[in-house]
Amino acid sequence: MKTELSRTLGIEHAIFGFTPFPAVAAALTRAGGFGVLGAVRYTDPDELARDLDWMQAHTDGLPYGLDVVMPAKKVEGVTEAEVEAMIPEEHRAFVRATLAKHGVPELAEGEASGWRITGWMEQVARNQLDVAFDYPIKLLANALGSPPPDVVARAHDHGVLVAALAGSARHARHHADAGIDIVVAQGYEAGGHTGEIASMVLTPEVVDAVSPLPVLAAGGIGSGEQIAAGLALGAQGVWLGSIWLTTTEAELHSRALTAKLLAAGSGDTVRSRALTGKPARQLRTEWTDAWDDPAGPGPLPMPLQGLLVAEAVSRIQRHEVEPLLGTPVGQIVGRMNAERSVQQVVDELTRGFEKAVDRINRIAGRSEA
Protein backbone atom coordinates (compact mmCIF):
# COMPACT_ATOMS: atom_id res chain seq x y z
CA MET A 1 0.00 0.00 0.00
CA LYS A 2 2.73 2.40 -1.06
CA THR A 3 2.20 5.63 -2.98
CA GLU A 4 4.41 8.55 -3.93
CA LEU A 5 3.29 10.37 -0.77
CA SER A 6 3.93 7.42 1.54
CA ARG A 7 7.41 7.06 0.07
CA THR A 8 8.06 10.77 0.58
CA LEU A 9 7.16 10.44 4.26
CA GLY A 10 8.95 7.11 4.69
CA ILE A 11 5.93 5.09 5.82
CA GLU A 12 5.00 1.53 4.89
CA HIS A 13 1.26 2.02 4.44
CA ALA A 14 -0.51 5.09 3.07
CA ILE A 15 -2.81 5.13 6.11
CA PHE A 16 -3.01 8.43 7.99
CA GLY A 17 -4.82 8.34 11.30
CA PHE A 18 -6.22 11.36 13.13
CA THR A 19 -6.77 10.79 16.85
CA PRO A 20 -6.87 12.80 20.09
CA PHE A 21 -5.05 9.95 21.86
CA PRO A 22 -1.21 9.84 21.84
CA ALA A 23 -1.18 6.08 22.39
CA VAL A 24 -3.28 5.53 19.26
CA ALA A 25 -1.17 7.88 17.12
CA ALA A 26 2.06 6.25 18.27
CA ALA A 27 0.70 2.74 17.72
CA LEU A 28 -0.37 3.59 14.18
CA THR A 29 3.04 5.00 13.39
CA ARG A 30 4.69 1.86 14.77
CA ALA A 31 2.31 -0.26 12.68
CA GLY A 32 3.62 1.35 9.50
CA GLY A 33 1.04 4.09 9.06
CA PHE A 34 1.20 7.77 9.99
CA GLY A 35 -0.25 8.86 13.34
CA VAL A 36 -1.59 12.42 13.60
CA LEU A 37 -2.25 13.73 17.11
CA GLY A 38 -5.20 16.11 17.48
CA ALA A 39 -4.14 19.19 19.46
CA VAL A 40 -7.44 21.01 19.98
CA ARG A 41 -7.83 19.86 23.60
CA TYR A 42 -4.38 21.06 24.64
CA THR A 43 -5.06 24.51 26.02
CA ASP A 44 -1.97 24.14 28.23
CA PRO A 45 1.21 24.04 26.10
CA ASP A 46 2.99 22.10 28.84
CA GLU A 47 0.49 19.25 28.48
CA LEU A 48 1.10 19.13 24.75
CA ALA A 49 4.85 19.06 25.34
CA ARG A 50 4.41 16.21 27.81
CA ASP A 51 2.47 14.12 25.31
CA LEU A 52 4.83 14.93 22.44
CA ASP A 53 7.70 13.80 24.67
CA TRP A 54 5.78 10.55 25.14
CA MET A 55 5.15 10.27 21.39
CA GLN A 56 8.81 10.81 20.68
CA ALA A 57 9.71 8.00 23.08
CA HIS A 58 7.15 5.57 21.64
CA THR A 59 7.40 5.99 17.86
CA ASP A 60 10.79 4.33 17.33
CA GLY A 61 12.07 7.28 15.32
CA LEU A 62 9.25 6.91 12.79
CA PRO A 63 7.26 9.90 11.47
CA TYR A 64 4.11 11.39 12.98
CA GLY A 65 2.18 14.65 12.75
CA LEU A 66 -0.04 17.14 14.55
CA ASP A 67 -3.54 18.43 13.79
CA VAL A 68 -4.56 21.92 14.95
CA VAL A 69 -7.73 23.98 14.60
CA MET A 70 -6.73 27.39 13.33
CA PRO A 71 -8.90 29.87 11.42
CA ALA A 72 -7.40 31.34 8.27
CA LYS A 73 -8.58 34.82 9.27
CA LYS A 74 -7.27 36.39 12.44
CA VAL A 75 -9.63 37.94 14.98
CA GLU A 76 -7.90 40.64 16.98
CA GLY A 77 -8.45 41.44 20.64
CA VAL A 78 -11.23 38.98 21.49
CA THR A 79 -10.86 36.93 24.65
CA GLU A 80 -12.70 33.76 25.55
CA ALA A 81 -14.52 35.57 28.37
CA GLU A 82 -15.71 38.30 25.98
CA VAL A 83 -17.01 35.69 23.55
CA GLU A 84 -18.75 33.71 26.30
CA ALA A 85 -20.54 36.88 27.43
CA MET A 86 -22.34 36.90 24.06
CA ILE A 87 -24.27 33.70 24.89
CA PRO A 88 -27.99 34.48 25.35
CA GLU A 89 -29.63 33.54 28.65
CA GLU A 90 -32.32 31.65 26.71
CA HIS A 91 -29.71 29.15 25.57
CA ARG A 92 -28.20 28.81 29.04
CA ALA A 93 -31.67 28.07 30.41
CA PHE A 94 -32.24 25.47 27.70
CA VAL A 95 -29.05 23.65 28.70
CA ARG A 96 -30.05 23.70 32.38
CA ALA A 97 -33.53 22.37 31.57
CA THR A 98 -32.23 19.57 29.33
CA LEU A 99 -29.74 18.41 31.95
CA ALA A 100 -32.36 18.58 34.70
CA LYS A 101 -34.81 16.55 32.60
CA HIS A 102 -32.30 13.71 32.52
CA GLY A 103 -31.11 14.11 36.10
CA VAL A 104 -27.53 14.94 35.19
CA PRO A 105 -25.53 15.61 38.39
CA GLU A 106 -23.34 18.67 38.81
CA LEU A 107 -19.58 18.36 38.62
CA ALA A 108 -17.88 17.85 41.95
CA GLU A 109 -16.89 21.04 43.77
CA GLY A 110 -13.66 22.36 42.33
CA GLU A 111 -13.82 20.03 39.31
CA ALA A 112 -13.25 22.00 36.15
CA SER A 113 -14.86 21.26 32.84
CA GLY A 114 -12.54 18.92 31.00
CA TRP A 115 -13.90 19.73 27.55
CA ARG A 116 -13.79 23.18 26.02
CA ILE A 117 -13.65 24.27 22.42
CA THR A 118 -10.88 26.80 22.82
CA GLY A 119 -8.47 25.50 20.18
CA TRP A 120 -10.42 27.56 17.63
CA MET A 121 -8.80 30.67 19.10
CA GLU A 122 -5.79 31.55 17.02
CA GLN A 123 -3.47 32.27 19.93
CA VAL A 124 -4.17 28.85 21.45
CA ALA A 125 -3.18 27.18 18.19
CA ARG A 126 -0.10 29.38 17.86
CA ASN A 127 0.99 28.39 21.36
CA GLN A 128 0.58 24.76 20.32
CA LEU A 129 2.77 25.35 17.29
CA ASP A 130 5.46 27.02 19.41
CA VAL A 131 5.70 23.67 21.20
CA ALA A 132 5.22 21.40 18.19
CA PHE A 133 8.00 22.87 16.09
CA ASP A 134 10.48 21.89 18.80
CA TYR A 135 9.71 18.27 17.87
CA PRO A 136 10.45 16.41 14.62
CA ILE A 137 6.85 16.37 13.38
CA LYS A 138 6.59 15.69 9.65
CA LEU A 139 3.06 16.95 9.00
CA LEU A 140 0.89 19.80 10.24
CA ALA A 141 -2.80 19.41 9.46
CA ASN A 142 -5.45 22.07 9.95
CA ALA A 143 -9.07 21.09 10.48
CA LEU A 144 -10.46 24.52 9.55
CA GLY A 145 -8.94 24.74 6.10
CA SER A 146 -5.78 26.62 5.15
CA PRO A 147 -3.89 28.05 8.13
CA PRO A 148 -2.63 31.65 7.97
CA PRO A 149 0.15 32.23 5.40
CA ASP A 150 2.82 32.83 8.02
CA VAL A 151 2.04 29.46 9.63
CA VAL A 152 2.38 27.69 6.28
CA ALA A 153 5.72 29.44 5.73
CA ARG A 154 6.89 28.59 9.24
CA ALA A 155 6.03 24.93 8.76
CA HIS A 156 7.88 24.82 5.46
CA ASP A 157 10.89 26.47 7.09
CA HIS A 158 10.92 23.53 9.53
CA GLY A 159 10.62 21.00 6.70
CA VAL A 160 7.05 20.16 7.74
CA LEU A 161 4.37 19.40 5.15
CA VAL A 162 1.02 21.14 5.59
CA ALA A 163 -2.34 19.45 5.04
CA ALA A 164 -5.82 20.97 5.07
CA LEU A 165 -9.27 19.40 5.00
CA ALA A 166 -11.64 20.21 2.16
CA GLY A 167 -15.30 19.39 1.66
CA SER A 168 -15.52 20.63 -1.92
CA ALA A 169 -13.34 21.12 -4.98
CA ARG A 170 -13.63 24.89 -4.46
CA HIS A 171 -12.16 24.58 -0.97
CA ALA A 172 -9.42 22.34 -2.31
CA ARG A 173 -8.39 24.86 -4.97
CA HIS A 174 -8.22 27.54 -2.27
CA HIS A 175 -5.84 25.30 -0.30
CA ALA A 176 -3.66 24.79 -3.36
CA ASP A 177 -3.48 28.55 -3.92
CA ALA A 178 -2.49 28.97 -0.26
CA GLY A 179 0.57 26.73 -0.67
CA ILE A 180 -0.85 23.66 1.07
CA ASP A 181 1.07 20.43 0.34
CA ILE A 182 -1.66 17.83 0.91
CA VAL A 183 -5.43 18.12 0.59
CA VAL A 184 -7.67 15.85 2.67
CA ALA A 185 -10.91 15.31 0.74
CA GLN A 186 -13.34 14.69 3.58
CA GLY A 187 -16.72 13.39 2.52
CA TYR A 188 -20.15 13.76 4.07
CA GLU A 189 -19.87 10.37 5.80
CA ALA A 190 -17.00 11.52 8.03
CA GLY A 191 -17.18 12.10 11.77
CA GLY A 192 -16.78 15.61 13.16
CA HIS A 193 -17.05 18.75 11.02
CA THR A 194 -17.93 17.73 7.51
CA GLY A 195 -19.55 19.06 4.37
CA GLU A 196 -22.39 17.83 2.17
CA ILE A 197 -20.64 15.90 -0.64
CA ALA A 198 -20.13 12.15 -0.34
CA SER A 199 -16.64 10.67 -0.56
CA MET A 200 -17.23 8.74 -3.82
CA VAL A 201 -18.09 12.01 -5.55
CA LEU A 202 -15.75 14.32 -3.66
CA THR A 203 -12.45 12.42 -3.93
CA PRO A 204 -12.07 12.41 -7.73
CA GLU A 205 -13.33 16.00 -7.94
CA VAL A 206 -10.63 17.14 -5.51
CA VAL A 207 -7.95 15.03 -7.21
CA ASP A 208 -8.75 16.72 -10.53
CA ALA A 209 -8.98 20.17 -8.93
CA VAL A 210 -5.54 20.20 -7.29
CA SER A 211 -3.44 17.87 -9.45
CA PRO A 212 -0.53 17.21 -9.04
CA LEU A 213 -0.89 17.85 -5.27
CA PRO A 214 -1.44 14.63 -3.32
CA VAL A 215 -4.94 14.01 -1.97
CA LEU A 216 -6.01 11.84 0.96
CA ALA A 217 -9.47 10.30 0.85
CA ALA A 218 -11.50 10.63 4.06
CA GLY A 219 -15.03 9.94 5.23
CA GLY A 220 -16.71 6.55 5.51
CA ILE A 221 -13.49 4.60 5.14
CA GLY A 222 -12.88 1.73 7.54
CA SER A 223 -11.95 -1.30 5.45
CA GLY A 224 -9.14 -2.26 3.12
CA GLU A 225 -11.60 -2.51 0.25
CA GLN A 226 -12.61 1.10 0.83
CA ILE A 227 -8.95 2.13 0.92
CA ALA A 228 -8.48 0.45 -2.46
CA ALA A 229 -11.49 2.39 -3.76
CA GLY A 230 -10.01 5.67 -2.51
CA LEU A 231 -6.70 4.99 -4.23
CA ALA A 232 -8.52 3.92 -7.39
CA LEU A 233 -10.22 7.33 -7.38
CA GLY A 234 -6.82 9.01 -7.45
CA ALA A 235 -6.00 9.55 -3.78
CA GLN A 236 -2.47 8.88 -2.56
CA GLY A 237 -3.63 7.65 0.83
CA VAL A 238 -6.50 7.67 3.28
CA TRP A 239 -7.24 9.76 6.37
CA LEU A 240 -9.04 7.75 9.05
CA GLY A 241 -10.39 9.02 12.36
CA SER A 242 -13.48 7.25 13.68
CA ILE A 243 -12.12 3.73 13.30
CA TRP A 244 -9.59 4.29 16.11
CA LEU A 245 -12.19 5.20 18.76
CA THR A 246 -12.84 1.59 19.71
CA THR A 247 -9.23 0.44 19.70
CA THR A 248 -7.74 -0.84 22.93
CA GLU A 249 -5.28 2.07 22.96
CA ALA A 250 -8.02 4.71 22.84
CA GLU A 251 -8.63 6.60 26.08
CA LEU A 252 -12.36 7.25 26.03
CA HIS A 253 -12.55 6.63 29.82
CA SER A 254 -16.17 5.55 29.40
CA ARG A 255 -17.27 1.97 29.04
CA ALA A 256 -20.80 3.20 28.40
CA LEU A 257 -19.66 5.28 25.42
CA THR A 258 -17.53 2.45 24.06
CA ALA A 259 -20.54 0.13 24.34
CA LYS A 260 -22.71 2.63 22.43
CA LEU A 261 -20.14 2.85 19.64
CA LEU A 262 -19.82 -0.93 19.39
CA ALA A 263 -23.62 -1.32 19.22
CA ALA A 264 -24.26 1.53 16.75
CA GLY A 265 -25.13 1.00 13.12
CA SER A 266 -24.18 3.17 10.17
CA GLY A 267 -27.55 4.93 10.42
CA ASP A 268 -27.10 5.91 14.06
CA THR A 269 -25.21 9.16 13.43
CA VAL A 270 -26.50 12.62 12.68
CA ARG A 271 -24.93 15.75 11.23
CA SER A 272 -25.75 18.30 13.92
CA ARG A 273 -24.58 21.69 15.17
CA ALA A 274 -25.25 20.66 18.78
CA LEU A 275 -21.61 20.25 19.75
CA THR A 276 -19.71 23.19 18.26
CA GLY A 277 -22.14 25.30 16.26
CA LYS A 278 -20.91 23.95 12.93
CA PRO A 279 -22.38 20.84 11.30
CA ALA A 280 -20.53 17.87 12.79
CA ARG A 281 -21.38 14.19 12.40
CA GLN A 282 -21.81 12.45 15.74
CA LEU A 283 -23.79 9.73 17.45
CA ARG A 284 -27.46 10.58 17.49
CA THR A 285 -28.59 10.98 21.10
CA GLU A 286 -31.33 12.69 23.03
CA TRP A 287 -28.88 15.59 23.38
CA THR A 288 -28.59 16.07 19.61
CA ASP A 289 -32.36 15.56 19.23
CA ALA A 290 -33.01 18.32 21.77
CA TRP A 291 -30.83 20.80 19.92
CA ASP A 292 -32.26 19.87 16.53
CA ASP A 293 -35.86 20.16 17.76
CA PRO A 294 -37.55 23.17 16.09
CA ALA A 295 -39.30 23.88 19.40
CA GLY A 296 -35.97 24.68 21.05
CA PRO A 297 -33.75 27.75 20.65
CA GLY A 298 -31.46 25.98 18.20
CA PRO A 299 -27.65 25.89 18.33
CA LEU A 300 -25.57 29.06 18.41
CA PRO A 301 -22.85 29.70 15.82
CA MET A 302 -19.28 28.58 16.46
CA PRO A 303 -17.60 29.25 18.88
CA LEU A 304 -20.56 30.25 21.11
CA GLN A 305 -22.17 26.81 21.03
CA GLY A 306 -18.98 25.03 22.05
CA LEU A 307 -18.47 27.35 24.98
CA LEU A 308 -22.13 27.08 25.97
CA VAL A 309 -22.21 23.28 26.17
CA ALA A 310 -18.69 22.66 27.47
CA GLU A 311 -19.61 22.06 31.09
CA ALA A 312 -22.77 20.17 30.14
CA VAL A 313 -20.82 17.76 27.93
CA SER A 314 -18.31 17.22 30.76
CA ARG A 315 -21.13 16.43 33.18
CA ILE A 316 -22.76 14.02 30.74
CA GLN A 317 -19.46 12.24 30.14
CA ARG A 318 -18.35 12.27 33.77
CA HIS A 319 -21.59 10.67 34.98
CA GLU A 320 -22.11 8.54 31.86
CA VAL A 321 -25.70 9.64 31.32
CA GLU A 322 -26.45 7.11 28.61
CA PRO A 323 -29.36 8.81 26.75
CA LEU A 324 -27.27 11.98 26.26
CA LEU A 325 -23.85 10.36 25.91
CA GLY A 326 -22.29 10.74 22.47
CA THR A 327 -19.17 11.61 20.52
CA PRO A 328 -18.19 12.76 17.03
CA VAL A 329 -18.06 9.66 14.82
CA GLY A 330 -18.62 8.86 11.18
CA GLN A 331 -21.02 6.49 9.46
CA ILE A 332 -18.27 3.87 9.51
CA VAL A 333 -19.32 3.27 13.13
CA GLY A 334 -21.42 0.40 11.77
CA ARG A 335 -18.19 -1.55 11.19
CA MET A 336 -16.78 -0.76 14.63
CA ASN A 337 -18.31 -3.74 16.37
CA ALA A 338 -15.36 -5.16 18.33
CA GLU A 339 -12.48 -3.77 20.37
CA ARG A 340 -9.15 -4.41 18.66
CA SER A 341 -5.63 -3.07 18.94
CA VAL A 342 -4.39 -0.51 16.44
CA GLN A 343 -2.08 -3.17 15.00
CA GLN A 344 -5.02 -5.52 14.50
CA VAL A 345 -6.98 -2.78 12.72
CA VAL A 346 -4.03 -2.06 10.42
CA ASP A 347 -3.57 -5.78 9.72
CA GLU A 348 -7.26 -6.07 8.79
CA LEU A 349 -7.03 -2.99 6.56
CA THR A 350 -4.01 -4.30 4.69
CA ARG A 351 -5.55 -7.77 4.23
CA GLY A 352 -8.74 -6.21 2.88
CA PHE A 353 -6.72 -4.02 0.55
CA GLU A 354 -4.84 -7.03 -0.84
CA LYS A 355 -8.12 -8.92 -1.39
CA ALA A 356 -9.58 -5.95 -3.24
CA VAL A 357 -6.54 -5.58 -5.47
CA ASP A 358 -6.54 -9.32 -6.22
CA ARG A 359 -10.25 -9.14 -7.09
CA ILE A 360 -9.68 -6.27 -9.53
CA ASN A 361 -6.72 -8.07 -11.07
CA ARG A 362 -8.91 -11.13 -11.69
CA ILE A 363 -11.63 -8.96 -13.22
CA ALA A 364 -9.04 -7.30 -15.44
CA GLY A 365 -7.60 -10.68 -16.46
CA ARG A 366 -4.23 -10.00 -14.82
CA SER A 367 -4.39 -12.99 -12.49
CA GLU A 368 -4.98 -16.70 -13.05
CA ALA A 369 -6.32 -17.19 -9.50
- Residues 3-32 have pLDDT tens digits of 999 999 999 999 999 999 999 999 999 999
Q: What is the mean pLDDT of residues 168-175?
A: 97
More confident residue, 75 or 58: 58
pLDDT in tens, 352-369: 999 999 999 999 998 765
Taking 60 as the threshold, does the pLDDT of residue 284 lie above it?
A: yes
Classify residue 294 by burial, with Cβ atoms within 10 Å: 0-12, 13-18, 19+: exposed
Instruction: Flag whether pLDDT at 118 surpasses 70.
Output: no
- Neighbouring CB atoms inside 10 A of 349's CB total 25
Give the mean pLDDT of 63-78. Answer: 75
With contact defined as beta carbons under 8 Å apart, do 142 and 69 qualify? yes
Q: Cα-atom radius of gyration of the chain, to the nearest Å?
A: 20
Q: In the prediction, which pLDDT does 41 show?
A: 85
Q: What percent of the chain has pLDDT over 90?
A: 81
pLDDT higher than threshold 80 for residue 77:
no
Per the model's pLDDT, the better-predicted residue between 124 and 239 turns out to be 239
Sheet containing strand 280-283, edge to edge, reads 192-193, 280-283, 269-272
User: Alpha-carbon dihedral of residues 132, 135, 139, 141, nearest 10 degrees?
Assistant: -10
Query: What is this structure's pTM?
Result: 0.93
**Minimum mean pLDDT range among 64-78, 80-94, 111-125, 142-156:** 111-125
pLDDT at 221: 96
**Distance between CA atoms of residues 341 and 47, nearest Å:** 25
Considering the chain, what is the average pLDDT of its residues? Answer: 92
At 184, phi and psi to the nearest 5? -95, 110
Confidence of residue 119 (pLDDT cuts 50, 70, 90): very low
Residue 81 confidence (pLDDT): 78
Given a cut of 70, whether residue 274 has pLDDT beyond it is yes
Averaged pLDDT for residues 71-87:
70
For the chain, the first-to-last Cα distance in angstroms comes to: 21
Q: Residue 163: which region, alpha, beta or left (left: phi > 0; alpha: psi -120 to 50)?
A: beta
The Cα 21–Cα 33 span in angstroms is: 15
pLDDT in tens, 304-342: 898 899 899 999 999 999 999 999 999 999 999 999 999
Between CA 57 and CA 79 the distance in angstroms is 36
Q: Is a pLDDT exceeding 80 seen at residue 83?
A: no
pLDDT digit string, tens, across residues 199-250: 999 999 999 999 999 999 999 999 999 999 999 999 999 999 999 999 999 9
pLDDT at position 36 is 98
Q: Is the pLDDT at 270 greater than 80, yes or no?
A: yes
